[in-house]
Amino acid sequence: MELLNRYVQAVAHYLPAEQKQDIMRELRANLLDELESLGINASNPSDSAALTTFLQRQDHPQRIAQSYAPQYPLVASEDMGLYKTIVLKGLLVLFVYAAVTAGSYLINAQSVNAIAFILVVLSSVWDNIGVMLIGITATFYFLGKSGYLAQWRYPSWSPETLPPTNAQRISTSDGISDVITSVFGLLLLWTPLWLNEEAYNSLILGIAPNMEQWRIILTTVMTGSLIAAIYRLTQTYWTRWSMGAYIAEYLIYISVMLTLWSLPPLFVVNNPIATKLTPIIEQIFTHGWLVGAGIFVLITTSEVRKWRKL
């Protein structure tokens, strides 16, 4: 009987607390009936070999527990694709945030070297990754349980609303990237609002005092991008006007970058410890705006070609 009890106890280990006693009782009763039909006495030591063979033939205790009390995943299988995309994008944001704060930290500590930088970045990502994963998983769990995700994935439709044969699908992954980029940009622009005073004072860069109006201009542009990106997440394919609006967005970004390239520096080193970085920062941003505008021109050209096919 001891072997039988050990098996039932092993199954119980994997059972939820509220069902444990009831399932154990029923499992034991079923196993005793099966043993009786085979002429095996669980209390008889001479039947221990037969009992061992019988229990071996049963499934692994964890599988038995799962069959009696199935555990449902936090994220439904049909949502896993989107879940993975958001986790990966979130990781990217964590790395960028960690790189920015690591740079500030190391300059303040006057200890800038590649290995220290990598270690601080990894440490920062490690500190925050748990919270990120819990937040994303909890969001998916509650949205999935409420049925909202299913509604978003399978909205009501009719044959007339199906995309035309030459339709170009809007990538959900790109849409999520656009949302995250806009939110990140807004957070960077408005660090005084959410960063604590000590951390804010340790930042290397800040907007030049004579360029403060650009904080509002860029906020307006990024807010518009964010709204457009959120709207695109609700659509499945491009239309002429939605892609036209997307191209207009890129044209606005190109104009902003070229304007910033022609003006005095937008970002300046405002941390006395890092003043020796000022020429480097100026060079980066002077060329950076131009390079950025160039890249956006290439992207816009590609989008215009797609737009003409619609």
- The answer to whether residue 29 forms part of the interface with another protein (CB under 8 A) is yes
Q: Nearer Cβ to another protein, position 2 or 59?
A: 59
For the bound state, the minimum distance from the C-beta of residue 194 to another protein, rounded and expressed in Å, comes to: 48
Q: Nearer Cβ to another protein, position 37 or 113?
A: 37
For the bound state, the minimum distance from the C-beta of residue 32 to another protein, rounded and expressed in Å, comes to: 7
Q: Nearer Cβ to another protein, position 37 or 156?
A: 37
Q: Which of 245, 251, 240, 228 is nearest to 300 (CA)?
A: 251
For the bound state, the minimum distance from the C-beta of residue 68 to another protein, rounded and expressed in Å, comes to: 5
Q: Nearer Cβ to another protein, position 27 or 281?
A: 27
Number of residues that bind another protein (CB under 8 A): 15
For the bound state, the minimum distance from the C-beta of residue 39 to another protein, rounded and expressed in Å, comes to: 14
For the bound state, the minimum distance from the C-beta of residue 45 to another protein, rounded and expressed in Å, comes to: 21
| List of residues 6+ apart from 205 with CB closer than 8 A | 267, 268, 269, 270, 281
For the bound state, the minimum distance from the C-beta of residue 56 to another protein, rounded and expressed in Å, comes to: 13
- The answer to whether residue 34 forms part of the interface with another protein (CB under 8 A) is yes
For the bound state, the minimum distance from the C-beta of residue 76 to another protein, rounded and expressed in Å, comes to: 20
- The answer to whether residue 2 forms part of the interface with another protein (CB under 8 A) is no
* Binding residue (CB under 8 A) for another protein from 4, 11, 15, 64: 64
- The answer to whether residue 174 forms part of the interface with another protein (CB under 8 A) is no
Q: Nearer Cβ to another protein, position 13 or 287?
A: 13
For the bound state, the minimum distance from the C-beta of residue 67 to another protein, rounded and expressed in Å, comes to: 4
Q: Give the position of tokens 């059972």.
A: 15
- The answer to whether residue 32 forms part of the interface with another protein (CB under 8 A) is yes
- The answer to whether residue 55 forms part of the interface with another protein (CB under 8 A) is no
Q: Nearer Cβ to another protein, position 56 or 161?
A: 56
- The answer to whether residue 58 forms part of the interface with another protein (CB under 8 A) is yes
- The answer to whether residue 33 forms part of the interface with another protein (CB under 8 A) is yes
- Long-range contacts of 101-110, Cβ-Cβ distance < 8 Å, separation of 24 or more: 101/199, 103/204, 104/199, 104/202, 104/203, 104/204, 104/271, 105/202, 107/204, 107/271, 107/273, 107/274, 107/277, 108/202, 108/271, 108/273, 110/273
Q: Nearer Cβ to another protein, position 30 or 151?
A: 30
- Cα-based distances in Å from 72 to 32, 66, 77, 85, 273: 30, 10, 10, 21, 54
Which chain residues interact with another protein by CB under 8 A?
23, 25-27, 29-30, 32-34, 37, 58-59, 64, 67-68
